[in-house]
Copies of this chain bind each other. A is one copy, B any other.
Amino acid sequence: MTEFSATAARLLATMRAQRPLVQNITNFVSMDVAANALLAIGASPAMVHAPEETPEFVAFTGALVVNIGTLSTPWVEAMHVAASTAHTLGKPWALDPVGVGATTFRNHVVEHLLALQPTLIRGNASEIMAVARIAGVGGAGARPKGVDSANATSEAEAAAVALAAKHGCVVAATGAVDFITDGARSLRLANGSPLMERVTAMGCALTGVCGAFLAVEADAFAATAAAIAVYGVAGELAAERCKGPGSFRVAFLDRLACVSEEDLAARLKVIA
């Protein structure tokens, strides 16, 4: 067992023991699977977005997750109120910039949310590159395809590092290889399965799970890396006994609920 798999196992155990409340302002597509992923792994999800109640609610959550998948002006306001409150209260909050780069509206929304200092930005390679471009720190060559990525995460590494350094946050570009950085440290993980791209909102649900780990660990780089590690190992195990994307999703939720220290020790692939 490497030091990293031991850390991931420890944070997983801590998260399961604390069962943190994670508030999600997320898109309509991911509502079901993100809540189920959080419940499966051992957290307590709540989907709450009304500006009338968000400030009160954020105050007793462990972390906030903001996902811009199915944007509209009222939801942008909801996101702003929630992220502002999290920032003011010093609560960790994660930004999932779904489809950024595809439209001017999305780019503007992300630009404003960046100013509220997310603890973590997690997206696919094209999204991370597009956010870096908005932040003025690289990201040339982003090729978003709707909400999917046409870039490999290797193309997003420099942008991710620059973005993390500029905004003092953790940035994770996930895909076949996951790249996690806080600007100083970085890690590449290679678990998971190609089936994860054939099930909708798997990335959104991952950002939710990152929120659960951020709620229990102040080192956001370690928390994010652990969440992505656990998620990837569960995906890899699930892929071994399924017949396609439908049964993969079912097996994946089963695996999230039982992925263990031993699984992490045996499976985690940290690459150079």
Contacts and interface: CB of A to CB of B under 8 A. Distances in A.
A50 B72 contact: yes
A72 B74 contact: yes
Interface in A73-89: 73-74, 78
A57 interface: yes
A49 interface: yes
Contacts of A146: 21, 23, 44-46, 48, 57, 61
The residue among A31, A104, A201 with the most chain B CB atoms within 10 A of its own CB is: A31
Interface string A205-246: 000000000000000000000000000000000000011111
A261 interface: no
Nearest to A38: B200
Given A36-B199, A47-B70, A21 B244 contact: no
Interface residues of A, number: 63
Contact of A21 (B104, B145, B255): B145
Contacts of A21: 145-146
B244 A99 contact: no
A40 B198 contact: yes
21 contacts: A21-B145, A31-B31, A32-B32, A36-B249, A39-B198, A39-B199, A39-B245, A40-B245, A45-B147, A46-B99, A48-B71, A48-B103, A49-B70, A53-B106, A57-B146, A72-B74, A243-B254, A245-B257, A246-B251, A246-B257, A250-B250
Given A47-B70, A57-B146, 4 more contacts: A48-B102, A53-B103, A72-B78, A243-B258
